[in-house]
Structure 1
Amino acid sequence: MFNLSRKTSSLFHRLSYIVMNNSSSNSHLFLRVRCISNTCSDPSQSFAFSYLIDKFGFSQKSALAASKYLLFKTPDKPDSVIAFLEKHGFSKTQIQQIVKLRPPVLYCNVENNILPKLEFFRSRGVSSPDLIKLLSCNPRIFCRSLENQIMPCFNYLSNLLQSDEKAVKSLKRYPYLVSCNFDAYILPNINTLLDNGVPESNIRAMFLQHPRSFVMIPDRFKEIVKEVKEMGFDPMLTKFLGAVIMFRKMSKSTLERKLDVCKKWGWSEQESWDAFCKNPYCMEASQEKITAIMDFLVNKMGFQSLLIADQPYVLGRSLKKRIVPRGLFAQDLLSKGLIKKFTLSGLFDTSEKVFIQRFINRYEDIAPQLLKLYKEKLDLAIGGKY
């Protein structure tokens, strides 16, 4: 037993040295170290355990979970990492989040590991605030190889989207892109779309807006594409990809339940299906949201139910931030005689800037009062008092 313990301890220290001095160390190595370290000592008695509580205010449970990955016995290394991050604009809360999600960050070599990554992202157009958000959301990046993982991923994104600027936008929408396996997920799924006749331009546009939807087990992605094609969606149209993304997020049975909600408002089977085909994203709304929107538009605003079936995009709009405040405001304008009628698209399918110009600023003499009234409707809607 004594000899085995010595061997285990020796291996543990060798791995500890590798982890603490290898700038490209990854989570798999830390997991192996953790398994060995658990046999050697009680993490709650370690220096790292106390350090996390004193430095970040971790609860004992959080400190215990994180300290299983940490081997340092002095504050020098983690203090240098924290000081570096603070110097580059990370807040205490953000650093705490990073350490909680990825404790091994405290082992990173500041000059050889972290700094080159910051410099790379900045050289490709990532602003400092966006970079801080990116790394705070996905601290795995700290432990990924710059040359073997981060740069190839970013270069692929830039080539796919045809600019560094768009690559940055896709990362902002899904920070885990830069640390995922492109060969295992994204490339096979893009090839599936191409093989089924989806234009490259549509794929680029959809990837930019919904990058996470492309990170999926290829076999399941193929099944979804096949199902959407069999439903009659045209691969040449963007609605095809919209349907793919919707079925990436929900099952067919979930869609059927949502369509059943619409039928309760007088839509036929065909009208319900046509609404989904016109705008697949309309069924991203929950059953509760669909019911609330239909109730407000039909019972409060007086719109015909089938008009909404003809313009289903409205089901995807925010109930409290757009539909309710604009609807209530329009009714007030109607009662004041400032407008004679309003349309579904005129109220809900315009940007905030266009809406204010069309319904507020055009009445120059009373624009300030109308703007105040509109803001009151916004407050009412957000507070649920309508």
Structure 2
Amino acid sequence: MLNLVCKIFSHNGRSSIVRISPTEGLCFLQLAPFSSSIAVESSSATARKASFACSYFINELGFAQERALRASRYVNFETPEKPDSVRSFLRNHGFTESQISNMVRRFPPVLLCDPEKTLLPKIEFFKSSGLSQEDLIDLLTATPQIFWNSVENKLAPTFDFLNSMFGSSSNTVMAMKTFQRNLNFEHLQCNVRVLRDAGVPKSNIVNLLKHCPRVFHTDKEKFGKIVEDVKAMGFSPSKVMFVLAIKAFATMNKVTWSQKMEAYKKFGFSEAEILETFEKHPWCMMVSTEKIVAVVDFLVNKMGFERSVLLKRPVLLSLSLKKRIAPRYLVYQTLLANGLVKDDLNLLTMLMASEEKFLKNYIECHTSEASELLKLYTKLRCRLECT
């Protein structure tokens, strides 16, 4: 089984956009210049354009100075005609000034798009696809990088495919927003087909698409290998745990996996036990290394749980320490100190209870002390969440 895990990780005009090295900015900054003449512009001319653009971002779009300076390094212009025309176009299509400003914050090059040739085709496509005005504005405000994608080669096939999966334009919009600029229809389609061929129910594929779309950005050869190795580990394709295991391996590199294995080993877990626990509850390896250390330490050294309990109920390892484990344990200690419960109270039952049942069975039932207990519980949760 360990070999299978190791195999999984073995894959592994007047306006211009200034070229910046990958180490200096985001991916949208690596676009090629519009004109070769940009390369020979004098530093003084570039500085003049950057200064004008910076003032525009501050005065017209309400940017803070630092953000304006950063944006003006990437998108420069000497006159307001182009950005004004873009803003006017967007206003005429229902976008508010606040939405336009947010759009530019996320993707400054949108200010230099040709309204008719670049912006309009995308708006018309989404309208013709049945998106409401509200969904359309929400999508493009959140992911203005979409304006740089081809309708025919990228947007249409991706949108239509996602819509056929979800059967709902609102869910499709949510997925498009999370895919953002990393739209790769070939990977998406191939990876969905791999899951279908493996026997994964459509409902489980849709849930994975909805909650972790970046899994489908994985290179199709690597994705296929992950699916085969997860099957070989004994996960059933018909179960939800199958797609959770795929999510774990597709979103975690070998170094991170090793760090989490070492974190469990420090508390006495053997490698075989960790892998067995992963099969039962893949979430135990999807939480951060820091959370693994904090939760196991609290459960074992503070609450006194035996390691065998965690192996039988690995869901404990993914519970929130701040919102659930620590506040409930404080309630238990308070009840015990006041003689309201016996020390043989089942702490596991207390931790696993729903919030509604916990309040009913451990707080509200103690009528005279209920208000103070609830206040104590709520206060601790708030304090821990703020840390």
TM-score by length of 2: 0.75
Cα displacement (A) at 1:279: 0.7
Which position in structure 1 is the counterpart of 2:264?
Answer: 262
- Measure, in 1, the Cα distance between the counterparts of 2:128 and 2:360: 39
- Measure, in 1, the Cα distance between the counterparts of 2:122 and 2:364: 50
- Measure, in 2, the Cα distance between the counterparts of 1:98 and 1:288: 35
What CA RMSD, in Å, does the superposition of the two structures yield over aligned residues?
3.7
Q: 1:31 to 1:325 in 2, by over 3 A?
A: same
Aligned ranges 1:91-102 → 2 under 5 Å: 91=98, 95-102=100-107
Q: 2:162 aligns with which of 126, 132, 157?
A: 157
Which position in structure 2 is the counterpart of 1:37?
Answer: 38
Tell me if the contact between 1:78 and 1:107 (Cα under 8 Å) persists in the aligned partners.
yes
Aligned ranges 1:318-357 → 2 under 5 Å: 318-340=320-342, 341-344=345-348, 346-348=350-352, 350=354, 352-357=355-360
Q: 2:249 aligns with which of 232, 247, 250?
A: 247
Cα displacement (A) at 1:53: 4.3
Tell me if the contact between 2:122 and 2:147 (Cα under 8 Å) persists in the aligned partners.
no
Q: 1:39 to 1:54 in 2, by over 3 A?
A: farther
Q: Give the SS at the match of 2:362.
A: helix
Tell me if the contact between 2:209 and 2:216 (Cα under 8 Å) persists in the aligned partners.
yes
Bigger shift: residues 303-312 or 328-337: 328-337
Deviations 1:275-325 (A, max 9, x none): 111011111122222111111112222222221122112222222222222
- Measure, in 2, the Cα distance between the counterparts of 1:321 and 1:121: 45
Q: Give the SS at the match of 1:160.
A: helix
Q: Give the SS at the match of 2:32.
A: helix
Aligned ranges 1:8-47 → 2 under 5 Å: 12=13, 31-33=32-34, 35-40=36-41, 42-46=45-49, 47=52
Aligned ranges 1:118-267 → 2 under 5 Å: 120=127, 123-124=130-131, 131-132=137-138, 134-144=139-149, 149-171=154-176, 174-176=178-180, 180-182=183-185, 184-267=186-269
| Structure 2 unpaired stretches of 5+ | 1-12, 17-27
Cα displacement (A) at 1:72: 4.6
- Measure, in 1, the Cα distance between the counterparts of 2:368 and 2:289: 43
- Measure, in 2, the Cα distance between the counterparts of 1:35 and 1:293: 57
- Measure, in 2, the Cα distance between the counterparts of 1:207 and 1:364: 46
Bigger shift: residues 146-155 or 323-332: 146-155
Cα displacement (A) at 1:186: 0.5
Which position in structure 1 is the counterpart of 2:24?
Answer: none
Tell me if the contact between 1:30 and 1:104 (Cα under 8 Å) persists in the aligned partners.
no
Tell me if the contact between 2:104 and 2:110 (Cα under 8 Å) persists in the aligned partners.
yes
- Measure, in 2, the Cα distance between the counterparts of 1:189 and 1:308: 34
Tell me if the contact between 1:53 and 1:63 (Cα under 8 Å) persists in the aligned partners.
no
Aligned ranges 1:44-63 → 2 under 5 Å: 44-46=47-49, 47-55=52-60, 56-59=63-66, 61-63=69-71
Cα displacement (A) at 1:271: 2.0
Tell me the percent identity.
34
TM-score by length of 1: 0.76
Q: Give the SS at the match of 1:33.
A: coil
Tell me if the contact between 1:125 and 1:165 (Cα under 8 Å) persists in the aligned partners.
no
Cα displacement (A) at 1:96: 4.2
Q: Which has the higher contact order (CA 8 A, sep 6+)?
A: 2
Which position in structure 2 is the counterpart of 1:21?
Answer: none
- Measure, in 2, the Cα distance between the counterparts of 1:219 and 1:344: 43
- Measure, in 2, the Cα distance between the counterparts of 1:321 and 1:293: 12
Which position in structure 2 is the counterpart of 1:305?
Answer: 307
Cα displacement (A) at 1:105: 1.9
- Measure, in 1, the Cα distance between the counterparts of 2:240 and 2:72: 49
Q: 1:88 to 1:228 in 2, by over 3 A?
A: same
Deviations 1:178-226 (A, max 9, x none): x6121x2101111222233333332223222222211221122122223
- Measure, in 2, the Cα distance between the counterparts of 1:122 and 1:369: 55
- Measure, in 1, the Cα distance between the counterparts of 2:212 and 2:252: 15
Which position in structure 1 is the counterpart of 2:21?
Answer: none
| Structure 1 unpaired stretches of 5+ | 1-11, 17-26
The answer to whether residue 85 in structure 2 is matched with residue 77 in structure 1 is yes
Tell me if the contact between 2:300 and 2:307 (Cα under 8 Å) persists in the aligned partners.
yes
Q: Give the SS at the match of 2:259.
A: helix
Tell me if the contact between 1:266 and 1:306 (Cα under 8 Å) persists in the aligned partners.
no
Cα displacement (A) at 1:33: 0.8
Aligned residues: 352
Tell me if the contact between 1:194 and 1:200 (Cα under 8 Å) persists in the aligned partners.
yes
Which position in structure 2 is the counterpart of 1:5?
Answer: none
- Measure, in 1, the Cα distance between the counterparts of 2:278 and 2:371: 40
Cα displacement (A) at 1:327: 2.2
Bigger shift: residues 53-62 or 316-325: 53-62
Tell me if the contact between 1:290 and 1:315 (Cα under 8 Å) persists in the aligned partners.
yes
